[in-house]
Amino acid sequence: MLFVTNRVLEQGLTPLPAPGVDIRLERSVNFVLENNQAEQSFYCCRRTGLFDYTEIGSSNFFDELRIIDADQILFFIHGFSTQPEEAFAQAEQLQNLLDALYQTDRSSFIQSPKIKVIPLIWPCDNDFGKVRDYFDDQKSADASAFSYMRLLQKFLSWREENSTLDNPCLKRVNMLSFSMGNRVLRGALHLAAKYYPQNSLGLLFRNVFMCAADVVNETLEPGKAGGVIPLVSRNVVTYYAADDLALRASKVANISNASRRLGHTGPEDLAKVANNVYAIDCDDFNNQYDRVGHIYFLDNPETGDAGLLLRHAWECMRTGRVPVDPARARPINRIEILGSSR
């Protein structure tokens, strides 16, 4: 599994090549789990097994993405209080569920994309106590925005240098950010829009899925911190649930900024956000999937297959369009991709 991280590595910063020498980097690395400092550098790596990681460098990383056996890429940003192997387990589960959907469609002669999941691992605290972790992780998420902005810059430069009509890269790029991971996404794109002309960013993503987003619910409005997200995406899909107990606690924790969370209510006012922003109410099933009602973007625990949210996201990636109630442009009250809210 390919991944990108800005966590502190025991081996230190990526070694610089000698002047004029193009070194294709490969070195064994591991995380310093006790250190949740957000590096300004980012590291492009490959995971080959439990606690077995190799840094391969950005050139190798982008080249592999270009030739990888997939039609689309899905970048995945995990939530708070998540250590690397926990994030990899979620990414592997996500990959297996998407592979199963692909095989099901294929056996039914439905044209569907093969999707590759690429996790982005940002530093979460490893201390005892969720409350302390929460505030430490907020700082780490905000500080991680700089490194992932630099990753975006590196990708745009690589794309410019490797653009060719003879062998174009036709893979579509999607983003799934969960909980506090949306804070990382928002910050990275906000900085990218600040430091680079907007037209140089272009339409980066086919779909951005903001699941149980732990950010304020007006963040996608123009002029707000996440206002650039709809500008660089074909579709922005927010999944929310009013009885998400984790986000109720988050609202209390952020009492000094008392706005409700995007993952709790959806966008505060849909009339104020771009027309490509969709609000999907998951209140009917989130507590069936997770006791706290927060981690409901993966499987249905009763059946073991892809849950309703992931099936909805799959249709977005498959068609490039967001399934909604035909009688209403947006939002819909529940996910109806299967003809049922359950």
Residue 65 CA: distances (Å) to CA of 22, 42, 224, 279? 19, 17, 32, 31
Predicted local distance difference test score (pLDDT) of residue 333: 41
Predicted local distance difference test score (pLDDT) of residue 162: 76
Predicted local distance difference test score (pLDDT) of residue 295: 96
Give the residue carrying structure tokens 């986000």: 247
Q: For residues 229 and 262, what is the distance between their CA atoms, to the nearest angstrom?
A: 14
The count of other CB atoms within 10 Å of the CB of residue 222 is: 11
DSSP code of residue 234:
E
Angle at 51 between CA 36 and CA 122, to 5 degrees: 30
Look at residues 52, 40, 43 and name the one whose alpha carbon lies nearest to residue 9: 43
The answer to pTM > 0.85 is: yes
Predicted local distance difference test score (pLDDT) of residue 334: 44
The β-bridge relationship of strands 172-178 and 205-211 is parallel
Look at residues 155, 221, 178, 214 and name the one whose alpha carbon lies nearest to residue 87: 178
The β-bridge relationship of strands 52-55 and 115-121 is unpaired
Domains and CATH numbers, the chain: 71-319 (3.40.50)
| Series of mean pLDDT values for 10-residue runs along the chain (342 residues) | 97 79 77 93 96 95 93 97 97 98 94 96 79 81 96 87 70 96 97 78 92 96 96 96 84 60 93 94 94 96 96 96 62 43 35
Predicted local distance difference test score (pLDDT) of residue 168: 67
Predicted local distance difference test score (pLDDT) of residue 339: 38
Give the residue carrying structure tokens 């995380």: 31
DSSP code of residue 169:
-
